[in-house]
Structure 1
Amino acid sequence: MKKELKKQIIEELSKEFTSDVSIFYADYKGQTVKDLETLRKSVREAGGKARVVKNTLARIALKNNGIEADFEENNIFIWGEDQITLAKIVVKHAKDYKDTFKIKGAVVEGEVKDAAYIEEVSKLPTKDELLGMVAFMMKAPIAKFAWGLNKLIEKKEQEN
């Protein structure tokens, strides 16, 4: 790989790998192109990005943002702002392809995390799920009030 291309990749990744994004990395050895495209499509739909990058280039890009991380062997990097959704996608892909896709770790808010952390995060509800829960909680008292009023009206009608 030419030096100019390496510099360009490092610049791009340095802009992308800020502390605002969560970066997941996994071993993809044995994955087919179709398997990786399935992962990339899911990540893209969630507003994230996925890319196979040389470890040295990723390490330099992270170091440019003040993050110390070490990677070994082949890695695919998945990053984006929605940590929970991306964790769910990565964990699901790891379960679907357990022989060829192994989660190694993540960089979240500038801190290096292990695979167990990603598993735990994937169990949390997403932002949309939380908003749905809040909407349901707000709707419940109104629905009960309306039900009570309806019962009162029915009772008055029966009395007449």
Structure 2
Amino acid sequence: MRKEDKGVIIEQLTATLQEYPNFYLTDIEAIDAETTSRLRRECFKSDVKLVVVKNNLLKKALENVEGDFSPLYTALKGNTAVMFSQVANAPARLIKEFTKDTKGEGKPQLKAAYVQESFYDASSLEALVNIKSKNELIADVIALLESPAKNVISALQSSGQTIHGLLKTLEERK
């Protein structure tokens, strides 16, 4: 590969790293073509961008991005594919779903991840699956805020029906 080509690839990777706040380093070595196509389709459905990279080029791209990504450098061995996503847990759920038939032993295999400004290693897949996305957290907060209001409205409606029933009973006695 020519030096100019490497420079272009590093620039593209740097731009992609700046565009996506979350990315997962995965091992997809020895996956056959059919499984790779299925993985790419699932990534597309989940709005996850899958890119196979050379480790040295990814390392240089990480060095170009603001911040210290040195904890990820140890994972840059062997074949590496990067899963970029706007949603923090989407790639983790995809990896878990894709490897459920092999009880987590199949490929793709998590090597490391950078999610919500934190670093995770290969053993953190379950924790990453359980991370809530921004939209899920907003929905939880809204549900918590709505709950007391719903209880008050429910109590007022039921007490109104009780008072109405009591007045009706008193009226019928006369």
Identity of aligned residues (%): 22
Alignment partner for residue 67 of structure 1, among 61, 66, 69? 69
Check 1:100–1:88 CA distance in 2 against 1; reply closer, same or farther (3 A cut): closer
Structure 1 unaligned blocks of 5 or more: none
How many Å separate the matches in 2 of 1:119 and 1:139? 30
Per-residue deviation, residues 87-141 of structure 1 (Å, max 9, x unmatched):
3223333435533322111234676531123431221222222222222222212
1:134 aligns with 2:141: yes
Aligned to 2:50: 50
Aligned to 1:92: 97
How many Å separate the matches in 1 of 2:101 and 2:84? 20
* Counterpart amino acid of residue 50 in structure 2: A
* Counterpart amino acid of residue 138 in structure 1: L
Written as runs of structure 1 = structure 2, the 5 A alignment for 1:79-118 is 79-96=84-101, 98-108=105-115, 112-118=119-125
Aligned to 1:36: 36
How many Å separate the matches in 1 of 2:162 and 2:115? 58
Aligned to 2:171: none
Aligned to 1:120: 127
Aligned residues: 160
Q: How far did 1:53 drift? A: 1.1
- Specify the structure having the higher radius of gyration (Cα): 2
How many Å separate the matches in 2 of 1:101 and 1:109? 21
The answer to whether the 8 Å contact 1:19/1:108 transfers is no
Q: How far did 1:152 drift? A: 1.7
| SS state at 2:78 partner | coil
Per-residue deviation, residues 44-82 of structure 1 (Å, max 9, x unmatched):
444442111111211221122253314111111112333
Give TM-score scaled by structure 1 length.
0.80
How many Å separate the matches in 2 of 1:99 and 1:90? 9
Deviating more after overlay: 47-56 vs 16-25: 16-25
How big is the alpha-carbon RMSD for the aligned residues of Structure 1 and Structure 2?
A: 2.6
The answer to whether the 8 Å contact 2:95/2:108 transfers is no
Aligned to 1:152: 159
Check 1:91–1:112 CA distance in 2 against 1; reply closer, same or farther (3 A cut): same
The answer to whether the 8 Å contact 2:48/2:90 transfers is no
